[in-house]
Amino acid sequence: MGERQREQVSQPKKKRRISKKKIFLGGLSSVFLLLLIAVLFVNGYINKSLPQTEGTIELPVLENEVTIITDEDGVPHIKADNARDMYIAQGYIQADRRMFQMELSRRQASGTLSEVVGEDALNQDKYFRTLGLRRAAEKSYEVYSEESVEVLEWFASGVNAYMEEAKANNSLPVEFTLMGFEPEAWTPVDSLTIGKYMAFDLGGHWQQQAFNYYLLDNYEEEKAYELFPAYPVNKPTIIQEDEIDIAASFEHAVIPHPFNGSNNWVVSGDKTASGMPLLADDPHLGLATPSIWLQMHLESADGLNVSGVIFAGVPGIILGHNDQIAWGVTNTGPDVQQLYIEQRNPDNPDEFLFEDEWEEATIIEEPIQVKDGETVDYEVVETRHGPIVSEFASESGKDTVLSLRWTALDASTELEAIMEMNRATNWEEFEQGLEKFLVPAQNFVFASDDGTIAYKANGKIPIYEEGHDALLPLNGWEADNEWQGYIPYDELPTVVNPEKGFIATANNQITPDSYPYHISNVWAQPYRYERIAEVLETGDNFTAEDMQDLQMDQTDLRAREFVPIFQEVLAETEFTEQEQGAMELLSDWDFLADKDIPQPLIFEHWMQEIQNTIYRQEIPHAMRNLFSVQSQATENVLRNAASGEGSQWMEAKGGMEAVLKDSLEDTLEKLTESYGDDLSGWKWGDYHQVQFHHPLSSVSPFLAFFFNNEDAIPVGGSGVTPMATSYESETGEVDHGASWRFVIDTSDMQSGYHIVGPGQDEHFRSDWYHDQMSDWVEGNYHETRLDETEGRELVLEPN
């Protein structure tokens, strides 16, 4: 065969090779094209649910046109011709920004998460059905004024207008698609139920009563009483003797953070550079995506002009300012929950004893639908005191019937208070509105452009019979154990324009012993308040920037108290080289909980290990979950042991020196395993970090990639510094702190300074999703004005 013939023979083979390559490339191109189309489709679908901030939307339910300006920080400024249209627009905008959060909030509070989550949420649903927050909201709705009911209905119609539009356009948030359901119509009771949930989040202490009951049942009386709540002696209260103004377990229970607290303060014009009062507020709540707060500005032609924050799903502004007054809150934490031991009739399990007679309990059917499962026929039993909660009380309730009396389960009128507070122009009008704010009880601070500063511990606080101090469950069959009414409104702790020139609260004890009523046994440690007062007492010519700096203050007064005590107790102790290095580092510490230094890492872990050393083998894990004052009790044990008073808990572990030495050894062993041998290279921020997790991010790493689209950020502070950054001890994740920071100088009532971490929107593609995450860590505030608003303009038209 000649060369030509060979070439001719070989060419078809060459063509075949080229043909396969073309087919492969063509197939690859097709796959790429399909992937590109899929990505573009998914991207377009996801982007459809982004909040609309520009253009025009027809909203037939309106009477007149409403304008919404969204400023550069994502704050919607709603301007309407009348209150009706304003609240409709507020409902619409809240739903556009936070519909998924609103849905989860009402389901959690109502006990209906199992319908969309499945069996994993069943125990939680049982707990909230037992408490009956939604039943309490329904009772509250019945006592609201006609005007307030209208506001609730207007707001709900705005939410529903958004939902109808989103369903029609297939533009509901992608979270609904991922979970496989659509939200049902919003109702006024949904808004009130979310309000009742905040009372739950801020007003619980019955778990401590259950724990105290367990202590007395398992330990000698003297040893048990050591761990009972006790405020440190000679520590400051908010109101001093001369300032009192009377005239003017639960294994399946959901346990709120033991000190959902906060800081707030007001400074009179005598101590400020502007000559007018300054106000600062930073409520400490759970940290997540989206923020628990939504910042908004509401303005209507009838004179309302108010700015601040609100819970998504609720109308109005709960914290903030208008053009004449400003206000903020911290949690008072009064004893508003009481456990009762009930005697059940052995012949009729639905009857309970009271004053030698059997009373029939109320049986409430609460069927719980479970996704991909059968409906659970659940019953709630309510005695004269409230729901029976024994099944959630761990070892304290296993052989005892316990019921719960709680002020939040009564009808209450917080929304009416909010409406009046929003429109108040002075202290007298504001205090009048406060009378309707019943639960949760809060420490309100107030400042106005007439120079007034004021404080009131406000809310429905029960009066206990003398000798009944809410430390333990009470016998439910004795009338003497019933609450004796509530502290009269005009006798609640109140201070107006004190001589010292400031008022501050940080969940510390409110009143001196001479106050005629019992308020609480459980107060936060005094460290945050002491540091705030330390700055405000010694300073002068304060500015808004100074108040921002104080909110970000990382001074740790607990370390300032205990590090010298530890050094003294261990002065003669023989240390290893590493232990000696740790003690020298602590000796050189200025007690700032800075993220870039090792001392806070060592001290915080040491305090954790001290608690573990004392309690781990003695108190079951389930019961330690009910031990809400564990930190305070441990600090008192340490004080008593160091002062020579002695402590049975400390002595049982070999004495204070042994406890400190053993716990230090355990601390350094754990930290070395995580961070290496070089103590000087350790950093608090390598452990102590914040991320603001989205509720669906735990489902899979894929979802976490989208919803937690920022890396965790190292952060300073601790649970006892003014810059409150409480954390989960196993991981170091900061999950509780300033959910909103706010400062205002009343010399310019048009302007306020804010941080809403991690941002305004729940949509992960929004410009305002995590844009304030670094700001939250670093203390970068944004200014929001009532006038001169610029930004993206959206018009809602009635036709």
Sorted by where each begins, the domain ranges of the chain are 576-585+598-681
600 token code pair = 């806070």
Return all residues near 178 (Cβ < 8 A) that are at least 6 apart: 696, 699, 703
Q: Cα–Cα distance between 201 and 699 in angstroms, integer?
A: 24
Give the per-residue pLDDT at 149: 98
Can you list the positions of beta strands (E) in 332-488?
337-342, 344-345, 348-354, 357-360, 362-365, 379-382, 401-406, 442-448, 453-458, 474-475
Contact (CB, 8 A) for 388 and 352: no
Contact (CB, 8 A) for 656 and 643: no
Contact (CB, 8 A) for 722 and 555: yes
Pairing label, strands 278-286, 741-745: antiparallel
Instruction: Give φ, ψ of 533 to 5 degrees.
Output: -65, -35
3-state secondary structure of 296: strand
Secondary-structure percent of the chain, ordered helix, strand, coil, rounded to 5: 40, 20, 40
Contact (CB, 8 A) for 490 and 247: yes
Contact (CB, 8 A) for 191 and 313: yes
Instruction: Give φ, ψ of 334 to 5 degrees.
Output: -75, 165
* Segment holding 671, helix H or strand E: helix 656-675
320 token code pair = 């903030």
Give the per-residue pLDDT at 117: 95
Nearest partner of 129 among 360, 352, 363, judged by Cα? 363
Q: How far does Cα 427 stand from its chain's mean position?
A: 27
Q: Please name every residue paired with 329 in a beta bridge, in sequence order, or none if there are none.
A: 444
Q: Please name every residue paired with 348 in a beta bridge, in sequence order, or none if there are none.
A: 345
Contact (CB, 8 A) for 289 and 776: no
Give the per-residue pLDDT at 26: 47
729 token code pair = 């001890």
User: What per-residue string of b and e applies to 205-221 under the rule 16 or more CB within 10 Å gives b?
Assistant: bbbbbbbbbbbeeebee
Q: Cα–Cα distance between 466 and 480 in angstroms, integer?
A: 10
Run means of pLDDT, 10 residues per run, the chain, 799 residues: 37 41 46 48 79 97 98 98 98 98 98 96 95 98 98 98 97 94 98 95 79 91 90 66 40 56 94 98 96 98 97 98 98 93 93 97 97 96 95 55 95 98 98 97 97 97 85 94 96 97 96 91 93 97 98 98 98 97 98 98 98 95 87 95 94 97 98 97 98 91 86 96 96 96 98 98 96 98 94 96
Nearest partner of 205 among 471, 526, 484, judged by Cα? 471
User: What per-residue string of b and e applies to 243-253 under the rule 16 or more CB within 10 Å gives b?
Assistant: bbbeeebbbeb
Contact (CB, 8 A) for 93 and 768: no
User: What per-residue string of b and e applies to 703-736 under the rule 16 or more CB within 10 Å gives b?
Assistant: bbeebbeeebbbbbbbbbbbbbbbbeeeebbbbb
Return all residues near 134 (Cβ < 8 A) that are at least 6 apart: 109, 110, 111, 189, 193, 196
DSSP secondary structure of 55-83:
EEEE-TT-SS-EEEEE-TTS-EEEEESSH
Q: How far does Cα 133 stand from its chain's mean position?
A: 17
Q: Please name every residue paired with 542 in a beta bridge, in sequence order, or none if there are none.
A: 272
Give the per-residue pLDDT at 466: 77
Q: Cα–Cα distance between 151 and 782 in angstroms, integer?
A: 30
Instruction: Give φ, ψ of 678 to 5 degrees.
Output: -85, 95
Residue 290: asked if its preceding bond is cis (omega within 30°), the reply is yes
Return all residues near 645 (Cβ < 8 A) that are at least 6 apart: none
User: Cβ–Cβ contacts within 10 Å for residue 64, how many?
Assistant: 13
Instruction: Give φ, ψ of 775 to 5 degrees.
Output: -60, -40
Q: Cα–Cα distance between 650 and 15 in angstroms, integer?
A: 88
Cα angle at 246 between 244 and 248, to 5 degrees?
105
Nearest partner of 751 among 728, 782, 722, judged by Cα? 782
Return all residues near 456 (Cβ < 8 A) that are at least 6 apart: 431, 434, 443, 444, 446, 492, 493, 494, 495
Instruction: Give φ, ψ of 69 to 5 degrees.
Output: -100, 120
Q: Cα–Cα distance between 39 and 363 in angstroms, integer?
A: 53
439 token code pair = 């639960």
Q: Cα–Cα distance between 577 and 571 in angstroms, integer?
A: 15
User: Cβ–Cβ contacts within 10 Å for residue 320, how many?
Assistant: 27
Q: Is 576 left (phi over 0), alpha (psi -120 to 50) or beta?
A: beta
Q: Cα–Cα distance between 294 and 321 in angstroms, integer?
A: 15
44 token code pair = 């377009």
| HSE (side-chain half, CA atoms, 13 Å) at 389 | 32
Burial of 238 (0-12, 13-18, 19+ CB in 10 A): buried
Cα dist from 584 to 78, 504, 568, whole Å: 57, 35, 13
Q: Please name every residue paired with 266 in a beta bridge, in sequence order, or none if there are none.
A: 279, 503
* Segment holding 281, helix H or strand E: strand 278-286
Q: Cα–Cα distance between 718 and 665 in angstroms, integer?
A: 22
Pairing label, strands 792-797, 55-58: parallel
